[in-house]
Amino acid sequence: MRTAELPNGDEVGHVEQQGSTTRGTEGALLGARVRAAREERGLTLRELARRAEVQVSDISRLERGLTGQPRLALGMALARALGLTLSQLLGEDERPADGALEGHSIVELRRALEAISREATRVARVAESAAASLRR
């Protein structure tokens, strides 16, 4: 069994079954994190989908662990709509090194983070468009 920490500090486990139809563990863990964050904020699937500008069915499938590796753009949209970074939603440790933020105001750091997030979203859209073109 693999476990992961959810945004609220809880841990979730996922049993990997050999020969079953269970999809990717990472997708299931991400789905559990999305559900925990959504419920913690009192949002319905529909409200989160509207905020993230994605389909309700995409979120529902993700939360139920019925997706393999979710698209980057979906993860980024959900993180943004939940008020989290993608790293937080993925459960990655993003604590800065001691002293790394000294001399920077919260406003400056927030602006830089928003600029990086916008650029990452743009890059993800370009990559998805390129991938779609290659599949045609």
User: Tens digit of pLDDT for each residue in 51-105?
Assistant: 999 999 999 999 998 877 778 889 899 999 999 988 888 887 655 555 555 666 7
- Position 73, amino acid: A
DSSP H helices, 21-85, are: 25-40, 45-52, 56-63, 72-82
pLDDT at residue 94 in the model:
56
Q: What does the pLDDT read at residue 10? A: 58
Mean pLDDT, range 4-32, rounded to an integer: 56
- Which amino acid makes up residue 63? E
- Which of 67, 75, 68 minimizes the C-alpha distance to 34? 75
Which of 135 and 33 is assigned the larger pLDDT? 33
pLDDT one-digit tens code per residue, 19-45: 333 345 667 888 899 999 999 999 999
DSSP tag of 97: P
Assigned token pair, 114: 């928003």
Instruction: Determine contact, residues 84/128, Cβ cutoff 8 Å.
Output: no
Residue holding tokens 């309700």? Answer: 56
Spans of all domains in the chain: 2-94, 98-136
Confidence at residue 59, expressed as pLDDT on a 0 to 100 scale: 94
117: confidence class by pLDDT, cuts 50, 70, 90: confident
Write the DSSP symbol of residue 95.
P
CB atoms < 10 A from the CB of 57, how many? 11
Kindly report the length of the chain.
Answer: 136
Q: Please, which pLDDT band fits residue 3 given cuts at 50, 70 and 90?
A: low
Q: What pLDDT was estimated at residue 28?
A: 80
Alpha-carbon distance 108 to 115, whole Å?
Answer: 11
> What φ, ψ does residue 85 adopt, rounded to 5°?
-85, 160
Q: Which CATH code is given to the segment(s) 2-94?
A: 1.10.260.40
